[in-house]
């Protein structure tokens, strides 16, 4: 692990102070989770990212602990998730978040004494949405099954005419017990599950998991493996950005865009399949290294693909930027002002499109990016058009990064044997995936098992921002705005 | 406009022939008679439900509509309402939080209807299995006609499964364009 990780245990006052000082220093909340420490002891943990430092703060808790959502609003839902899974509560929102009707408020599935396969007594699935009153206000309820090939979630719109006054998200539908499942796996097998926290970010999560485990074992992977991981991560970014640009064109009324971009994405996936054995490079990043390699012909094939893609992307970008209909739909639509993005602690691509220079790849210490020196791509306007621009810019940058990776690829092994970390050994993985920064926090148990693993998707921070971006827009623009964020349900529902 | 048209011409038509249906993916004998299968095979409407997937299967289902697989070219399309659907395509282990929505979606579909479970998770519960939060395989919640494994199943395999669900095992020519 090359970034600086500081771990501290605090009391309640220290917990408040840690949040406050991270906030004052311009830091952000990376992740917030709870754990059963055994022997009836519970704890909550926060990961604050302050520049290139990560502060892992732990607070032993019983039933209540201080709310930090005034400094970091995204903490609200994470605190509710902790209450659902373990019991301790912060803040005054007592509604379940991950807990719908599958278990009751007095069951705590993530406690060690609750078996993984327990059938818990069912609870009440009703949910109290915040009502909006006034003349002409009505509600539109959407989901959990959406009108398309999308993940499930519920959106409650309060509208006047066509204009959105309020949006309230209700997520947690795809909660499938990932964190509990981790605890039934060996440290090695956990990598497969990490790669399935959010399928579209499989490389980012698998890398973060491997980084966490390698940190716990104090055994960095071979240099070549890091560069190959970066190659796969950039290809994941390219694939997702291509897909999103296609759908953004389509949702903006330009079906041509979907046909073209989905063709380019398919070409890329087929190259992945041919060279790496899997279209999305699932399970290719493993603890200790990678199980792929590139020889000279593969290298040339990827370089040729970069050339082709760059030419096509240039032409498609010109078409997108010159298309009056598409521009009309996207400019000033779903605007997340830089100030609001900062207040909400938005991360990743959405933050960069709202004028914030946040990209873990450009922080010092993230090998191999510290030697690749990627360019940070950002825009100021925070609207759908900005998120399109950032995607185009990042595509070109990722293609260029791919070239730099292939030309500078160090020789050597792709995988090294990983010593088993001692029981209690812990590590953190921090990777800038295509959507934003992904964290995996891992604690080893005796015998090569997992004591606790918390994977964190940037969607936790960015879902609340969607509620703001949509305000004042018309309902028919919601799909376009939603797509421009393209957040993960599975990654945050766990 | 000329730039746009130029791109369309340059790209050409990359659509590939459809794969043959894979009757081996059936979970049992077809529940529908041949006459109905034949009708469905020519104009099939699919409602997809993610009942708990990691979204990997969704990526491949999206790919079915790219120009290479061009599922719509076979008369098969995805619809927004279960009331318009002949087939339910389900991904993921069924999370307990989604089980009710999945059942209601199935019940909202008109008869005759078929169910395809996609991916290792849809087939068996996959890596997530059964737990306090997951019902596991789709067949634990709904009757399943065809189950296609894979993590995620590649688009061609998904097509083989979809076609198998609306093709009698004895007659596999429905796939020819």
pLDDT tens figures, A23-52: 999 999 999 999 999 888 999 999 999 988
Q: In A, which residues are within 8 Å of B52 by CB distance? A: 173-174, 176, 490
List the end-to-end C-alpha distance of chain A, in Å, as a whole number. 25
Chain A: residue whose CA lies nearest to B61: A149
In angstroms, what separates the C-alpha of B121 from chain A's closest C-alpha?
Answer: 11
Q: In B, which residues are within 8 Å of A319 by CB distance? A: 3-4, 7
**Residue B175 pLDDT greater than 70, yes or no:** no
In angstroms, what separates the C-alpha of B34 from chain A's closest C-alpha?
Answer: 29
Task: For tokens 């993960």, name the residue.
Answer: A488
Residue B36 CA, chain-centre distance (Å), reads: 18
**Residue A180 pLDDT greater than 50, yes or no:** yes
Chain A: residue whose CA lies nearest to B98: A173
Question: Cβ B151–A266 below 8 Å, yes or no?
Answer: no
Which pLDDT band holds residue A289 (cuts at 50, 70, 90)? very high
Percent of chain A at pLDDT > 70 equals 100
Tokens of residue A84, six digits: 């659902």
CB A443 within 8 A of CB A464: no
**Which is it for strands B44-50 and B76-78: parallel, antiparallel or unpaired?**
parallel
Query: What CATH number does the domain located at B33-171 have?
Result: 3.40.50.12280
Three-class SS of residue B50?
A: strand
In angstroms, what separates the C-alpha of B165 from chain A's closest C-alpha?
Answer: 19
Question: Cβ B129–A181 below 8 Å, yes or no?
Answer: yes
Residue A154 CA, chain-centre distance (Å), reads: 19
B15 touches chain A (CB under 8 A): no
**pLDDT (average), residues B33-42:** 73
In angstroms, what separates the C-alpha of B88 from chain A's closest C-alpha?
Answer: 12
Which pLDDT band holds residue A2 (cuts at 50, 70, 90)? low
Question: Cβ B95–A176 below 8 Å, yes or no?
Answer: yes
Q: Which of B7, B67, B105 sits opposite A319 (nearest CB)?
A: B7
Q: In A, which residues are within 8 Å of B45 by CB distance? A: none
**Residue A464 pLDDT greater than 80, yes or no:** yes
- In chain B, positions 46-85, which contact chain A (CB-CB < 8 Å)? 48-63, 65-68, 78, 80-82
Q: Which of A151, A269, A319 sits opposite B50 (nearest CB)?
A: A151
Four-CA torsion A399, A359, A372, A390, nearest 10 degrees: 30
pLDDT tens figures, A377-410: 999 999 999 999 999 999 999 999 999 999 999 9
Q: By C-alpha distance, which of A400, A445, A375, A462 is closest to A73?
A: A462
pLDDT tens figures, A149-158: 999 999 999 9
Question: Cβ B62–A279 below 8 Å, yes or no?
Answer: no
Which pLDDT band holds residue B168 (cuts at 50, 70, 90)? low
Test mutation, A176, A259, A260, chain B, max B CBs within 10 A = A176
* Domains of chain A listed by start with CATH number: 4-121 (no CATH), 178-493 (1.10.645.10)
**pLDDT (average), residues A447-463:** 96
Q: How far is CA A88 from CA A63, A107, A455, in A?
A: 4, 12, 20
Return d(Cα B99, Cα A154) in angstroms, integer. 15
Q: Which of A263, A312, A488 sits opposite B55 (nearest CB)?
A: A488
Return d(Cα B112, Cα B133) in angstroms, integer. 31
Q: In B, which residues are within 8 Å of A486 by CB distance? A: none
Percent of chain A at pLDDT > 90 equals 91
In angstroms, what separates the C-alpha of A252 from chain B's closest C-alpha?
Answer: 16
**Contact pairs from chain A to chain B, CB under 8 Å:** 163
Chain B: residue whose CA lies nearest to A119: B132
Return the H-helix or E-strand segment holding B48: strand B44-50
Q: Which of B59, B80, B131 sits opposite A199 (nearest CB)?
A: B59
CB A454 within 8 A of CB A440: yes
CB A370 within 8 A of CB A364: yes
**pLDDT (average), residues B123-150:** 96
What is the pLDDT at residue B169?
46
pTM of the model as a whole: 0.95
């Amino acid at each position: 692990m090359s970034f600086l990780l500081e771990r501290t245990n605090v009391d309640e006052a220290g917990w408040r102070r840690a949040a406050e000082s991270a906030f004052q220093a311009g830091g952000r909340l990376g992740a917030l989770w709870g754990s059963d420490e055994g022997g009836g002891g519970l704890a909550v943990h926060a990961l604050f990212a302050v520049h290139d430092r990560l502060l892992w703060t732990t607070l032993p808790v019983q039933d209540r602990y201080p709310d930090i959502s005034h400094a970091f609003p995204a903490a609200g839902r994470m605190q509710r998730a902790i209450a659902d899974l373990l019991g301790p509560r912060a803040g005054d929102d007592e509604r379940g978040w991950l807990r719908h009707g599958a278990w009751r408020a007095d069951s705590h599935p993530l406690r060690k004494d609750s078996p993984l396969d327990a059938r818990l007594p069912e609870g009440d699935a009703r949910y109290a949405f915040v009502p909006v009153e006034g003349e002409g206000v009505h509600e539109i309820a959407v989901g959990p099954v959406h009108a398309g090939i999308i993940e499930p979630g519920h959106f409650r719109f309060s509208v006047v005419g066509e204009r959105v006054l309020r949006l309230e998200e209700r997520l947690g539908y795809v909660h499938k017990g990932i964190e509990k499942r981790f605890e039934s796996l060996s440290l090695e097998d956990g990598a497969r599950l990490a790669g399935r926290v959010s399928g579209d970010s499989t490389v980012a999560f698998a890398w973060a998991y491997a980084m966490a485990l390698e940190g716990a074992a104090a055994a960095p992977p071979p240099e070549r493996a890091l560069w190959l991981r970066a190659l796969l991560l950039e290809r994941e970014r390219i694939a997702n950005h291509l897909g999103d640009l296609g759908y953004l064109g389509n949702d903006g009324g330009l079906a041509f865009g979907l046909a073209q971009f989905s063709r380019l994405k398919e070409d890329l996936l087929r190259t992945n399949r041919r060279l790496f054995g899997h279209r999305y490079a699932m399970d290719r990043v493993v603890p200790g290294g990678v199980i792929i390699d590139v020889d000279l012909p593969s290298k040339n094939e990827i370089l040729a693909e970069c050339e082709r893609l760059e030419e096509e992307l240039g032409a498609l970008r010109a078409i997108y930027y010159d298309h009056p209909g598409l521009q009309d739909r996207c400019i000033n639509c779903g605007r997340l002002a830089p100030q609001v993005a900062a207040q909400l602690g938005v991360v990743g691509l959405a933050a960069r499109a709202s004028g914030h220079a946040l990209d873990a790849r450009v922080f010092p210490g993230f090998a191999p990016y510290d030697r690749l020196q990627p360019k940070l791509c950002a825009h100021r306007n925070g609207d759908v058009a900005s998120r399109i621009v950032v995607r185009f810019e990042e595509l070109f940058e990722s293609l260029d990064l791919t070239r730099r990776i292939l030309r500078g690829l160090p020789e050597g092994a792709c995988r090294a044997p990983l010593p088993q970390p001692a029981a209690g050994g812990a590590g953190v993985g921090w990777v800038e995936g295509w959507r934003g920064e992904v964290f995996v926090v891992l604690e080893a148990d005796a015998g090569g098992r997992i004591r606790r693993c918390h994977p964190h998707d940037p969607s936790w921070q960015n879902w609340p921002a969607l509620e703001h971006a949509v305000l004042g827009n018309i309902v028919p623009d919601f799909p376009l705005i939603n797509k421009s964020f393209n957040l993960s349900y599975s990654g945050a529902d766990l | 406009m000329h730039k746009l048209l130029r791109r369309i011409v340059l790209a050409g038509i990359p659509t590939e022939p459809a794969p043959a249906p894979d009757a081996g993916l059936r979970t049992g004998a077809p529940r529908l008679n041949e006459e109905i299968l034949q009708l469905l095979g020519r104009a099939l409407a699919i409602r997809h439900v993610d009942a708990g997937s990691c979204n990997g299967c969704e990526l491949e289902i999206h790919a079915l509509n790219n120009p290479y697989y061009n599922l719509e070219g076979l008369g098969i399309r995805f619809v927004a309402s279960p009331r318009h659907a002949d087939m339910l395509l389900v991904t993921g282990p069924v999370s307990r939080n989604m089980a009710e929505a999945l059942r209601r979606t199935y019940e909202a579909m008109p008869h005759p209807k078929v169910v395809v479970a996609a991916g290792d998770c849809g087939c068996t519960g996959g890596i997530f299995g059964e737990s306090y939060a997951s019902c596991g395989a789709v067949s634990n919640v709904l009757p399943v006609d065809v189950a296609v494994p894979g993590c995620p199943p590649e688009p061609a395999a998904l097509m083989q499964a979809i076609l198998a669900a609306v093709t009698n095992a004895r007659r596999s020519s429905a796939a020819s364009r």
